Structure 1
Amino acid sequence: HFQRKHLGSEEPFTTQHRDDFERARDDVSNLETPAGIRAYLSSTLGIIHGRLLQREDLLNRVDSRLAELEATVGHVERGVVRLEATGTRVDRDLVLIDAGTTRFSTGLAQLEAVGGRLDTGLAHWTAAGERVDRGVARFEAGEDRVTHRLAQMDATERPVDHHITELAVFAQEANQRLAHLDEVVTRLHLMIASLQSSVGAYVRGRSRSPSPPSRPRSRSRGRSYYRGRGRGRRRL
């Protein structure tokens, strides 16, 4: 059977194959005796026991791996739960983002409308600025004319100022003379009042005693004489 197996295959029959064949033939010849059978069974059981131990060790490793996998699965499940919670929060955030995007779009539309109004206002402002520039130019031209006119007035005012100075000096001298005349007139008034009181006292004294007819005429002439002199000096 061994030879047929290798002869039927494409592999060449080598020295290793011959050695294996001879060892298998010896093993078969050993099974012909009870000791050989026991040895073969013992060897086979040892091999089976070793393989069972290997299987138990493998099963233990598999159990530990399964425990690790279960722990990993637990971690994964908790991670999935956290991911689901995060997904829920993300969904809420997406809803809020959608609402914010809608408000942002509305704000952009309003900003665009405001920008249009600003453009219109800037156009009006530019037109108003041009009108202001023209007004400033006219004002500057008028200011130049006023400056020229003021220069002419300054040139004209110099002799006028000289005459005004002379008039001020003359007015000051006239005021001083008028003040002096006021003092003289005041003294004359006081003198006239004193004379009038003296004449009145004299007339009252004379009215109590008989007097010639010619005295009243003289007295009246004296009063009119003093009065006329007083008025004439006051006019001066």
Structure 2
Amino acid sequence: MVQRPTARRRQGGFTLLLAMGVVTMVTLAVLLSYGVVSREADVQGDSRRYKEAYFAAQAGLAEAREAMRLRLGVEETYSVALQGMAQVNEPGLEGGDRPYFEVLPGPGGPGTWNSLAINEADLSPAERQSPSGEAYAAFPRQENVRYRVFVRDDEDGTQSGTIDDNKQVWLIAIGEVVGPAGSRPTRAVIQALITNENAHAVNSPGTVMTGGGSDNTYSNSDEVSDVLADVVTLGSPP
């Protein structure tokens, strides 16, 4: 005898299919949410690493400005400073009419990075604790943050990249945050055109006023007499 399915059995099968559909939809929603959250975390991580790289480039640029000022000395142009630095010969930066020069070579010499890592031994006690006096359990050491700075002559009247004739050169600072092994680094590049304001000093013997002598005194007897006459006139009764 063939037993036909009753209404209760048909209802149970429909409930099972409905439950499986709900579970599938919830699973898909969870996977979709996980993908959105992962992408958002990646975007925020990239933004944070870019800010770190940007601040590293800014720090390198400020340090390079001072280094160029010291290299410049009393010179009016940057020619001597450019000729005294190592030329960069790396893929993308080598050769050309306007070669790149290393402004701040790293600890390993030209071609190496400068690190912004924090050494705990260099921190003062106040920097190791909160304003309320509670010691920090840990703090970011910035061991993966580094920078390099290059300089090159701008497009002035000369064709040589080591001769500057308009007192201006480009500084190019690169900040980089190194990620985990196998991941791409995050970089920020800042360029600044700096200008040398050194000029010939103009000196003259004595004071620049009429009647100035070699001993830097003002000894014009005629003008002194005029001043005394004015004083007498102002002090006289009407």
Q: Same fold (TM over 0.5)?
A: no
- Larger relative strand fraction: 2
Higher CA-based Rg: 1
Range of TM-score over shorter length: under 0.3
Relative to the length of structure 1, the TM-score reads: 0.21
- Larger relative helix fraction: 1
**Higher relative contact order, structure no. (Cα contacts within 8 Å, ≥ 6 residues apart):** 2
